[in-house]
Amino acid sequence: MLTDGAEVGAHVTTRVRELQSEAPDLHVHVLVPAPKWISSIHGRQVDGAERAKVQLSDALELFKQIGISATGELGGHDPMKATRLVIPHVHPDLILVSTLPTGLSRWLMMDLPHRLARRFRIPVEYVMGKPVNDDDWGTIPRRSPGPLRILLVEDSVEEAKLMRFALGETEERIDLTVVSNGAEAVEHVRANGQDEIDLVLLDLKMPKVDGHEFLEIMAKEFNVDALNVTVVTSSVSTEDQERAHALGAGAYVIKDPDIHSFKEAIQSVIDEVAES
């Protein structure tokens, strides 16, 4: 089980009890990636590392009280990396992700449940809990060496500038190509081949060929999974997200108005591709 800034409570224990009824010998391993900060119920930023220690202790005590066998550990701030390090010695049959509610959860913003299932080929569920109460808390590579070759498909000049900012810390290890619509992106992939592209950052709402149409074409002509297409969009439509996943998008990242959260989500995607 992974948990972020949500309090471990009934939303988790209810599902775990259901799983135990199906598998009496159920054992839970709790992984708490420690983010730099956690959103609290008061909208403050709580020290993530300190809070993670308390969350882990509280979760293990809770499972003990209800008679569930459980172990646990802390992980780094990136949940994908933290999970990758835990998988080899835990061998889970299911990954249960405990998140903050939609709109507060950086994990949902970065499409974590889908990315976990796609990367590790393990069933993933997620349940939503309540933000932490901060009343007592202070504010506070397996790929070939070389630059990561990224194709950015974005028709808005301003949004392209925003993406360049989000990519800022990785400029030394990326080779960025920018095209302004899906039609140009299709021609770029056809001209260069899928093996010359490590990651596609794809807007959805574009003229000529939109993001979904681009994915449809890629699925017919190339191995869309190998292109590592990440949709980056302001659309929070469940229909848009489900369609993108069905067409082969590896991740669906929502353009968070908080630039730092958005940057963190993009960096997580880049790190995942760089290490795969």
Q: Hey, where are the domains in the chain?
A: 2-128, 148-275
CB–CB of 98/1 below 8 Å? yes
Closest CA to 184 of 147, 155, 225, 220: 155
Secondary structure of residue 229 in the 3-state scheme: strand
Residue partners of 127: CB distance under 8 A and separation at least 6: 11, 12, 15, 96, 97, 98, 99
Name the one residue in this structure whose structure tokens are 């998140």.
99
Positive or negative, the CA dihedral 13, 17, 23, 25 is positive
Express as a percent the part of the chain with pLDDT over 90.
Answer: 53
Mean pLDDT of 62-67: 89
pLDDT at residue 155 is higher than 50: yes
Task: Tell me the whole-structure pTM to 2 decimals.
Answer: 0.68
Confidence of residue 173 (pLDDT cuts 50, 70, 90): confident
Confidence of residue 38 (pLDDT cuts 50, 70, 90): low
117-121, 171-175, 265-269: least confidently modelled range: 171-175
* CATH architecture, domain 2-128: 3-Layer(aba) Sandwich (3.40)
CB–CB of 250/200 below 8 Å? no
pLDDT at residue 131 is higher than 70: no
Lookup: tokens for 102: 């939609």
CATH fold match for the domains 2-128 and 148-275: yes
Closest CA to 197 of 240, 153, 233: 153
Q: Which is more confident, 81 or 47?
A: 81
Measured CA to CA in angstroms, residue 97 lies from 193, 217, 253, 257 at distances of: 36, 33, 17, 24
pLDDT at residue 36 is higher than 90: no
Q: Which is more confident, 131 or 241?
A: 241
115-138 burial, b at 16+ Cβ within 10 Å, e below that, comes to: bbebbeeeebebbebebbebeebe
Mean pLDDT of 21-34: 93
> Average pLDDT, whole number, for the chain?
86
pLDDT at residue 227 is higher than 70: yes
> 148-275 belongs to which CATH class?
alpha beta
